[in-house]
Structure 1
Amino acid sequence: MSKVGVLGTGTWGMALARVLSDSGKHDVTCWSALPQEIDYFVATKRHPNLPGVPIPDEIKFTKDISEAVVGQDVVLFAVPSVYVRSTANKAAPFLEDGQVVADCAKGIEEGTMMFLTEVIEDEVGKVCPGKKLRLVALSGPSHAEEVAVDIPTSIVSASTDMEAAKTVQDVFMAGCLRVYTNSDIKGVEMCGALKNIIALAVGASRGMGYGDNTTAALITRGMAEISALGVAIGCDQQTFNGLAGIGDLIVTATSEHSRNNRCGIMIGKGIPVKKAIEKVGMVVEGINCLPAAMELAERYNVDLPIISAVDKVVNGGETPAAMATYLMGRDKAHEFVNN
Structure 2
Amino acid sequence: MKNRLQETLIDLIRIDSVSKNSNKKIIEYLSTILSNAQFELELLKYIDPAGIEKYNLIAHKGTSPGGLAFLCHSDTVPLATKEQLNPTITDGKIYGRGACDMKGPMAAAIWAGVDSESNLPLTYIITADEEIGCEGAEYVVKNSKLLKKYSPQYSIATEPTELKPIYAHKGLGSITVTANGTAAHSSTEKGVNANFKIAPFLYFISTLREKYNSNKSYQNSEFTPPTNGLNMVISDFNCALNITAARSRCSVSFRSMPNARTEDILEEITDAANRLGLTITSKLYDSLYTDPHNNFVKYVEDITKSKAGTVPYLTDAFHFKANNPIILGPGSINQAHTENEYIDIKELNRGYSIYKQIIKNPI
* Bigger radius of gyration among the two: 2
Higher relative contact order structure (alpha carbons within 8 Å, sequence separation ≥ 6)? 2
TM-score, normalising length: structure 2? 0.24
TM-score, normalising length: structure 1? 0.25
